[in-house]
A = this chain, B = another copy of it.
Amino acid sequence: MPESPVEGQGAGMRAVHLLRSITVELDRLGGRFAAENGLHPTDLRALIALLDVARAGVPATPGRLGAELGLNSAGTTALVDRLERAGHVRRVRDAADRRRVLLEVDDRAVALGQGFFGPLIDEVVSVVDQFDDAGRDAVERFLTGVRDAVAARGADSSR
């Protein structure tokens, strides 16, 4: 049972600490982006989630968004209000099921996000491109393994 993270740890623990500092830096970066654009961290998470489900082809609704972010319905309404007021999102009544509201992300919001995160994404891609096939495969299997581990632990008890 390893614990202290000083130098000279195993490769596994070094990977763990690198991952952690990546997540810390990432949400610091996200916070800065949010602050610069007058939106809250939650708003940013919401936009990212919206773009995600949009690409998956599923139409986004307040209900799904709220569940994704762990907000209740009241908080979700307030969130969508904010996004709509800022012009990042439009509410459109679903013609098929008129209880539903579909959320359409404005193109400028997409462009905004891509302008900020695009360069970072390109850098990560270029890091991966430096490896040979075996290296790329290792990276991908590692990430997949970590994602599955985290997701499994996130799914076990409640929800």
Residues of chain A touching chain B, judged by Cβ–Cβ distance below 8 Å, are 1-6, 10-16, 18-23, 25-29, 31-32, 48, 55, 70, 114, 118-131, 134-136, 138-147, 149-151, 153-154, 157-159
Contacts and interface: CB of A to CB of B under 8 A. Distances in A.
B143 A19 contact: yes
Contacts of A27: 23, 27
A2 B125 contact: yes
Contacts of A10: 125, 129
Contacts of A6: 55
Nearest to A159: B32
A26 B45 CA distance: 13
B123 A149 contact: yes
Please state the number of chain copies in the assembly.
Answer: 2
Contact of A25 (B70, B125, B154): B154
Q: Sorted from nearest, which 10 A-B pairs have the closest CB atoms?
A: A12-B125, A135-B138, A127-B145, A18-B143, A12-B128, A123-B149, A138-B138, A25-B150, A11-B136, A29-B154
A35 to B, nearest CB: 9
A136 B9 CA distance: 13
A100 B28 CA distance: 26
Contacts of A118: 1
A136 B56 CA distance: 32
A66 to B, nearest CB: 14
